[in-house]
Amino acid sequence: MSEDLFGLSESPLSLRDRGSKAGKTAKSKEPKHYHGHRDRLRQRFDEAGAEALQSYELLEMLLFSCIKQGDTKPLAKALIERFGSFAKVLAAPRERLMEVQGCGEKTARFIKELQAAAVLFAKDQVDPQTPLSSWSAVMNYIHAAMAHSQTEEFRILFLDKKNQLIADEIQQRGTVDHAPVYPREVIKRALEHGASALILVHNHPSGDPTPSRADIEMTARINDALKPLNIVLHDHIIIAQHGHASFRGLNLL
Protein backbone atom coordinates (compact mmCIF):
# COMPACT_ATOMS: atom_id res chain seq x y z
CA MET A 1 0.00 0.00 0.00
CA SER A 2 1.40 3.40 -0.93
CA GLU A 3 2.35 5.82 1.79
CA ASP A 4 0.61 8.57 -0.20
CA LEU A 5 -2.71 6.89 0.61
CA PHE A 6 -2.27 7.71 4.28
CA GLY A 7 -0.82 11.19 3.61
CA LEU A 8 2.61 10.15 4.86
CA SER A 9 4.36 11.66 1.87
CA GLU A 10 3.70 14.56 -0.48
CA SER A 11 4.64 15.25 -4.02
CA PRO A 12 7.42 17.78 -4.72
CA LEU A 13 4.83 20.10 -6.29
CA SER A 14 2.62 20.27 -3.20
CA LEU A 15 5.62 20.90 -0.97
CA ARG A 16 6.74 23.72 -3.24
CA ASP A 17 3.24 25.25 -3.23
CA ARG A 18 3.06 25.09 0.54
CA GLY A 19 6.46 26.67 0.93
CA SER A 20 5.48 29.45 -1.48
CA LYS A 21 2.29 30.19 0.46
CA ALA A 22 4.18 30.22 3.74
CA GLY A 23 6.70 32.66 2.27
CA LYS A 24 3.95 34.98 1.06
CA THR A 25 2.26 34.87 4.45
CA ALA A 26 5.50 35.73 6.26
CA LYS A 27 6.24 38.51 3.79
CA SER A 28 2.76 40.01 4.15
CA LYS A 29 3.27 40.23 7.89
CA GLU A 30 6.47 42.25 7.50
CA PRO A 31 5.87 45.96 8.16
CA LYS A 32 6.12 48.20 5.10
CA HIS A 33 9.00 50.67 5.15
CA TYR A 34 6.57 53.58 5.30
CA HIS A 35 4.54 52.31 8.26
CA GLY A 36 4.56 55.03 10.90
CA HIS A 37 6.03 57.53 8.46
CA ARG A 38 2.87 59.63 8.34
CA ASP A 39 2.81 59.96 12.12
CA ARG A 40 6.51 60.85 12.21
CA LEU A 41 6.07 63.49 9.51
CA ARG A 42 3.08 65.02 11.27
CA GLN A 43 5.01 65.05 14.54
CA ARG A 44 7.88 66.97 12.94
CA PHE A 45 5.40 69.46 11.54
CA ASP A 46 3.66 69.87 14.91
CA GLU A 47 6.92 70.32 16.81
CA ALA A 48 8.98 72.43 14.41
CA GLY A 49 6.56 73.79 11.80
CA ALA A 50 6.72 73.79 8.01
CA GLU A 51 10.30 75.13 8.09
CA ALA A 52 11.45 71.71 9.31
CA LEU A 53 10.11 70.02 6.18
CA GLN A 54 11.47 69.98 2.68
CA SER A 55 9.10 70.98 -0.11
CA TYR A 56 8.40 67.40 -1.16
CA GLU A 57 7.73 66.44 2.46
CA LEU A 58 5.12 69.18 2.86
CA LEU A 59 3.52 68.09 -0.40
CA GLU A 60 3.48 64.41 0.58
CA MET A 61 1.91 65.32 3.93
CA LEU A 62 -0.80 67.34 2.19
CA LEU A 63 -1.45 64.41 -0.12
CA PHE A 64 -2.39 62.32 2.93
CA SER A 65 -5.78 64.06 2.75
CA CYS A 66 -6.70 62.54 -0.61
CA ILE A 67 -4.54 59.40 -0.59
CA LYS A 68 -5.63 57.62 2.56
CA GLN A 69 -3.21 54.68 2.45
CA GLY A 70 0.23 53.96 1.11
CA ASP A 71 3.40 55.96 0.59
CA THR A 72 2.87 59.43 -0.92
CA LYS A 73 6.57 60.32 -0.98
CA PRO A 74 7.30 58.91 -4.48
CA LEU A 75 4.41 60.88 -5.97
CA ALA A 76 5.38 64.10 -4.17
CA LYS A 77 8.97 63.78 -5.40
CA ALA A 78 7.85 62.94 -8.94
CA LEU A 79 5.56 65.97 -9.09
CA ILE A 80 8.23 68.40 -7.90
CA GLU A 81 10.79 66.84 -10.23
CA ARG A 82 8.41 67.20 -13.18
CA PHE A 83 7.31 70.78 -12.53
CA GLY A 84 10.30 72.22 -10.67
CA SER A 85 8.93 73.49 -7.37
CA PHE A 86 6.07 73.24 -4.88
CA ALA A 87 4.43 76.38 -6.30
CA LYS A 88 4.73 75.13 -9.87
CA VAL A 89 3.07 71.85 -8.90
CA LEU A 90 0.08 73.76 -7.54
CA ALA A 91 -0.07 75.96 -10.64
CA ALA A 92 0.25 73.12 -13.16
CA PRO A 93 -2.80 72.40 -15.34
CA ARG A 94 -4.88 69.46 -14.15
CA GLU A 95 -4.27 67.54 -17.37
CA ARG A 96 -0.48 67.78 -16.97
CA LEU A 97 -0.66 66.74 -13.32
CA MET A 98 -2.45 63.57 -14.40
CA GLU A 99 0.43 62.73 -16.74
CA VAL A 100 2.53 61.93 -13.66
CA GLN A 101 2.25 58.28 -12.67
CA GLY A 102 0.17 57.92 -9.53
CA CYS A 103 -1.64 61.23 -9.91
CA GLY A 104 -5.22 60.46 -10.81
CA GLU A 105 -8.18 62.72 -11.31
CA LYS A 106 -9.00 62.93 -7.60
CA THR A 107 -5.43 63.86 -6.65
CA ALA A 108 -5.16 66.42 -9.46
CA ARG A 109 -8.39 68.06 -8.31
CA PHE A 110 -7.08 68.18 -4.75
CA ILE A 111 -3.88 69.90 -5.89
CA LYS A 112 -5.90 72.55 -7.75
CA GLU A 113 -7.95 73.05 -4.58
CA LEU A 114 -4.69 73.67 -2.72
CA GLN A 115 -3.77 76.31 -5.29
CA ALA A 116 -7.16 78.01 -4.95
CA ALA A 117 -6.75 78.09 -1.16
CA ALA A 118 -3.25 79.58 -1.45
CA VAL A 119 -4.44 82.34 -3.81
CA LEU A 120 -7.45 83.14 -1.61
CA PHE A 121 -5.21 83.33 1.47
CA ALA A 122 -2.91 85.81 -0.30
CA LYS A 123 -5.88 87.83 -1.57
CA ASP A 124 -7.36 88.12 1.91
CA GLN A 125 -4.14 89.76 3.11
CA VAL A 126 -4.90 92.74 0.87
CA ASP A 127 -6.84 95.49 2.61
CA PRO A 128 -9.55 96.48 0.10
CA GLN A 129 -9.93 99.82 1.87
CA THR A 130 -6.29 100.79 1.33
CA PRO A 131 -4.74 98.50 -1.30
CA LEU A 132 -2.04 101.01 -2.28
CA SER A 133 -0.79 101.27 1.31
CA SER A 134 -0.64 97.47 1.54
CA TRP A 135 1.30 97.18 -1.68
CA SER A 136 3.46 94.27 -0.54
CA ALA A 137 0.29 92.27 0.13
CA VAL A 138 -1.02 93.19 -3.32
CA MET A 139 2.21 91.95 -4.88
CA ASN A 140 2.10 88.73 -2.87
CA TYR A 141 -1.45 88.13 -4.04
CA ILE A 142 -0.90 88.72 -7.75
CA HIS A 143 2.33 86.73 -7.60
CA ALA A 144 0.49 83.77 -6.05
CA ALA A 145 -2.33 84.12 -8.58
CA MET A 146 -0.31 84.60 -11.76
CA ALA A 147 3.45 84.09 -11.52
CA HIS A 148 3.45 80.37 -12.23
CA SER A 149 0.72 80.27 -14.85
CA GLN A 150 1.90 78.68 -18.09
CA THR A 151 -0.18 81.04 -20.21
CA GLU A 152 -0.40 84.82 -20.23
CA GLU A 153 -3.21 86.42 -18.23
CA PHE A 154 -4.22 90.07 -18.15
CA ARG A 155 -5.76 91.25 -14.88
CA ILE A 156 -7.24 94.61 -13.85
CA LEU A 157 -7.62 96.02 -10.35
CA PHE A 158 -10.41 98.63 -10.33
CA LEU A 159 -10.19 101.39 -7.69
CA ASP A 160 -12.60 104.13 -6.63
CA LYS A 161 -11.73 107.79 -6.02
CA LYS A 162 -10.40 106.90 -2.55
CA ASN A 163 -8.22 104.18 -4.09
CA GLN A 164 -10.32 101.49 -2.46
CA LEU A 165 -10.56 98.23 -4.35
CA ILE A 166 -13.85 97.86 -6.25
CA ALA A 167 -13.12 94.72 -8.26
CA ASP A 168 -10.36 92.42 -9.41
CA GLU A 169 -10.91 90.75 -12.77
CA ILE A 170 -9.02 88.66 -15.29
CA GLN A 171 -9.72 90.44 -18.54
CA GLN A 172 -8.03 88.04 -20.95
CA ARG A 173 -6.26 84.68 -21.04
CA GLY A 174 -3.98 83.84 -23.93
CA THR A 175 -1.09 81.66 -25.04
CA VAL A 176 2.37 81.13 -23.61
CA ASP A 177 3.53 84.51 -24.91
CA HIS A 178 0.46 86.57 -25.76
CA ALA A 179 -2.83 87.66 -24.22
CA PRO A 180 -4.89 89.90 -26.50
CA VAL A 181 -5.91 93.14 -24.76
CA TYR A 182 -8.36 95.64 -26.24
CA PRO A 183 -8.41 99.18 -24.79
CA ARG A 184 -12.13 99.49 -25.51
CA GLU A 185 -12.84 96.47 -23.28
CA VAL A 186 -10.72 97.96 -20.49
CA ILE A 187 -12.60 101.25 -20.78
CA LYS A 188 -15.97 99.48 -20.86
CA ARG A 189 -15.29 97.56 -17.64
CA ALA A 190 -13.87 100.63 -15.90
CA LEU A 191 -17.04 102.60 -16.67
CA GLU A 192 -19.28 99.71 -15.63
CA HIS A 193 -17.52 99.58 -12.26
CA GLY A 194 -17.48 103.36 -11.88
CA ALA A 195 -13.71 103.15 -11.37
CA SER A 196 -11.57 106.25 -10.89
CA ALA A 197 -8.25 104.44 -11.20
CA LEU A 198 -6.81 101.17 -12.52
CA ILE A 199 -3.83 98.94 -11.97
CA LEU A 200 -3.02 96.65 -14.88
CA VAL A 201 -1.29 93.33 -14.25
CA HIS A 202 -0.13 90.61 -16.57
CA ASN A 203 2.35 87.75 -16.34
CA HIS A 204 5.27 86.56 -18.44
CA PRO A 205 5.42 82.74 -18.40
CA SER A 206 8.95 82.98 -19.83
CA GLY A 207 10.16 84.10 -16.40
CA ASP A 208 11.52 87.47 -17.59
CA PRO A 209 9.40 90.42 -16.39
CA THR A 210 11.03 92.93 -18.74
CA PRO A 211 8.32 94.84 -20.66
CA SER A 212 8.23 94.08 -24.37
CA ARG A 213 7.70 96.73 -27.02
CA ALA A 214 4.13 95.42 -27.45
CA ASP A 215 3.56 95.77 -23.67
CA ILE A 216 4.74 99.37 -23.74
CA GLU A 217 2.64 100.31 -26.77
CA MET A 218 -0.48 98.61 -25.40
CA THR A 219 -0.12 100.38 -22.05
CA ALA A 220 0.29 103.74 -23.78
CA ARG A 221 -2.90 103.18 -25.80
CA ILE A 222 -4.88 102.29 -22.68
CA ASN A 223 -3.51 105.27 -20.79
CA ASP A 224 -4.36 107.64 -23.65
CA ALA A 225 -7.92 106.24 -23.74
CA LEU A 226 -8.35 106.67 -19.96
CA LYS A 227 -7.17 110.29 -19.72
CA PRO A 228 -10.24 111.96 -21.33
CA LEU A 229 -12.41 110.06 -18.84
CA ASN A 230 -10.34 111.27 -15.87
CA ILE A 231 -9.46 107.69 -14.97
CA VAL A 232 -5.94 107.34 -13.60
CA LEU A 233 -3.68 104.47 -14.57
CA HIS A 234 -1.63 103.98 -11.40
CA ASP A 235 0.65 101.27 -12.75
CA HIS A 236 1.11 98.31 -15.00
CA ILE A 237 2.82 95.39 -13.25
CA ILE A 238 4.43 92.49 -15.10
CA ILE A 239 4.73 89.39 -12.92
CA ALA A 240 7.22 86.58 -13.54
CA GLN A 241 8.31 83.59 -11.51
CA HIS A 242 11.32 85.32 -9.99
CA GLY A 243 10.35 88.96 -9.90
CA HIS A 244 8.24 91.74 -11.35
CA ALA A 245 8.52 94.98 -13.29
CA SER A 246 6.62 98.20 -12.60
CA PHE A 247 5.89 100.59 -15.45
CA ARG A 248 5.71 103.41 -12.90
CA GLY A 249 9.04 102.39 -11.42
CA LEU A 250 10.61 102.20 -14.89
CA ASN A 251 9.25 105.67 -15.78
CA LEU A 252 7.11 104.18 -18.52
CA LEU A 253 4.01 105.88 -17.10
- CATH number of the CATH domain containing 162: 3.40.140.10
Residue 169 and residue 200 in one domain: yes
Task: Kindly give the confidence (pLDDT) of every residue in the chain, 253 residues in length, as a single tens digit, with 9 standing for 90 and above.
Answer: 444 433 434 444 444 454 544 454 444 454 455 567 888 888 999 999 888 899 999 999 999 999 988 889 999 999 999 999 998 999 999 999 999 999 999 999 999 999 999 999 988 888 888 887 778 888 888 888 888 888 888 999 999 998 889 999 988 775 444 556 788 899 999 999 999 999 999 999 888 899 999 899 999 999 999 999 999 999 999 999 888 999 999 999 8
Both 141 and 109 in a single domain? no
Both 240 and 138 in one domain: the answer is yes
Number of domains in the chain: 2
Radius of gyration of the chain (CA): 28
Burial (CB < 10 A; 0-12, 13-18, 19+), residue 186, is buried
**Reported pTM:** 0.69
Q: Determine the structural domain holding residue 117 and report its residue range.
A: 37-121
Given 103, 121, 139, the domain boundary residue is 121
- Whether residues 190 and 88 share a domain: the answer is no
In a domain, 232, yes or no: yes
Instruction: Identify whether residues 110 and 92 lie together within a single domain.
Output: yes
Report if residue 8 sits inside a domain: no
In a domain, 11, yes or no: no
Residue 204 lies in a domain: yes
In whole angstroms, what is the distance from residue 41 CA to residue 109 CA?
23
Do 242 and 145 fall within a single domain?
A: yes
Last residue of a domain, one of 100, 121, 142: 121
**Does 73 lie in the same domain as 146?**
no
Q: Are residues 151 and 238 in the same domain?
A: yes
On average, the pLDDT of the chain sits at 83
- 176 lies in a domain? yes
- What Cα–Cα distance (Å) separates residue 219 from each residue in 49, 51, 211, 251? 44, 41, 10, 12
- Does 192 reside within a domain? yes
CATH classification of the domain holding 45: 1.10.150.20
| 80 is a domain residue | yes
Statement to judge: residues 211 and 160 lie in one domain: yes
